[in-house]
Structure 1
Amino acid sequence: MGNDDKQRAAATCDRCGEIGIVQIWPDGSFQPLGQSTFCDCESSELRVIETDPDELP
């Protein structure tokens, strides 16, 4: 349904360890799903830790 160009993944903040879901765009950039951030860190360093296996190529 139009989501062919995006995928979801679990990500963590390298500063505080908070885990959330991010949306990965075709250019490789990503952002927390449905919000601008998922932790209170001033400049969080998000790292993708798991992608949805159903959406992998």
Structure 2
Amino acid sequence: MVENGDKRRAAAKCERCGAIGIVQIWADGTHKPLGQTSFCDCPDPTLRILEEDLEAGDDLP
């Protein structure tokens, strides 16, 4: 995860379709896809922030 002042970036996964993309997260916890309105075609995606400290060889959640 990269921190930039009060914003940070992280990988996120859509719980509906499984698409993975990068989101920007603000200090209050709100998040949105970075540089786009969505990284999947779901009408109302439920995004889950993926684990931040995976070791090499770990499976993604």
Scaled by the length of structure 1, the TM-score of the pair is 0.80
Matched, 1:30 2:28: no
TM-fit CA distance, 1:51: 3.7
Structure 1 gaps of 5+ residues are 53-57
Partner Cα separation in structure 2 for residue 51 and residue 36 of structure 1: 23
- RMSD over aligned CA atoms reads 1.3
Runs of 4+ in 1 over 2 A off after TM superposition: none
**Which structure has more RCO (C-alpha within 8 Å, separation ≥ 6)?**
1
Normalising by the residue count of structure 2, what TM-score does the alignment of the two structures yield? 0.75
Give the structure with the larger helix fraction: 1
Instruction: For residue 50 of structure 1, report the CA deviation from its aligned partner.
Output: 3.3
Matched letter for residue 19 of structure 1: I
Seq. identity, %: 64
Gaps of 5+ in 2: 54-61
- Partner secondary structure for residue 39 of structure 1: coil
User: d(CA) in 2 for partners of 1:51 and 1:10?
Assistant: 8
- Match of 2:40, SS state, is coil
* Residue correspondences, number: 50
